Amino acid sequence: MDAASLATIRLSIELAAATTVILLAFGTPLAWWLARGSAHGLGRLRAPMRALVALPLVLPPSVLGFYLLLALGPNGPIGRVTQALGWGTLAFTFWGLLIGSIIYSLPFVVQPIVQAFEAIGNRPLEVAATLRAGPLDAFWRVALPLARPGLMTGAVMGFAHTLGEFGVVLMIGGNIPGQTRVLSVQIYDHVEALEYGAAHWLAGGMLLFALLALLAVHAVQARWHRKATA
């Protein structure tokens, strides 16, 4: 494999890893609120928030990419802010792709975690409260460990889905080696240039990785199910 392909693979993994870490960090509290937050006050926003989180599942990536391109541009709302901060515009940069990926992969990370939190039920947390665990303590020492399969599923799905991202990157990336040229775009380039051999190597690798990722998710869930029913 040549240096250019390796750089592309490395960049793709960096983007997917950064996206996954950020989504786990702020997606977990978000999922907690969506699953178990109070139904009053701000809680009334939970239903619209759930819809908003799920939106990238049904939106074509071209819609997301198109609006991002306009939003990140010099006259867009995000572009104005980043320019005022002295960062310039973020289209054609790694950071622009990161913003796009976080939005694009949001439901793939948050939804499994929401489901896991919901599956815990009230009982363990009531017991924790009886044993005088504070809410934060109960979250860290009871809820999070119990939701581990959801967190792992979310992490694997978020990573794999970001790696497979194409439409958004195509619209806001600009295909810059080492900065925005990721695997899916590289494969498109190879096909477009009729370099089927090179395309096969990368495309076959992606296929294999996606299959392994889904097998891993399945294995985690199966193990958890056995534990839960044993």
Question: Interface residues for other proteins in 51-80 (CB under 8 A)?
Answer: 69-70, 72-75
Residue 86 is which amino acid?
Answer: G
- Residues 91, 11, 79, CA angle at the centre, nearest 5°? 15
Question: Interface residues for other proteins in 174-213 (CB under 8 A)?
Answer: 174-176, 185, 188-189, 191-194
- The one among 18, 32, 36, 92 contacting other proteins by CB under 8 A: 92
- Concatenating the DSSP letter of every residue in 165-197 gives --HHHHHH----TTTT--HHHHHHHHHHTT-HH
Spatial separation of the C-alpha atoms in residues 175 and 56, rounded to whole Å? 23
Q: Which is nearer to other proteins, 31 or 185 (CB)?
A: 185
Query: What tokens appear for 19 in the block?
Result: 């996206």
163: how many CB neighbours lie within 10 A of its CB?
24
Minimum distance from CB of 74 to other proteins (Å)?
5
SS3 151: helix
Spatial separation of the C-alpha atoms in residues 230 and 223, rounded to whole Å? 10
Q: How many residues bind other proteins (CB under 8 A)?
A: 23
Question: Interface residues for other proteins in 101-160 (CB under 8 A)?
Answer: none
The answer to the question of residue 221 lying near other proteins (CB under 8 A) is no
Minimum distance from CB of 93 to other proteins (Å)?
10
Residues in contact with other proteins by the rule CB under 8 A: 69-70, 72-75, 88-89, 91-92, 170-172, 174-176, 185, 188-189, 191-194
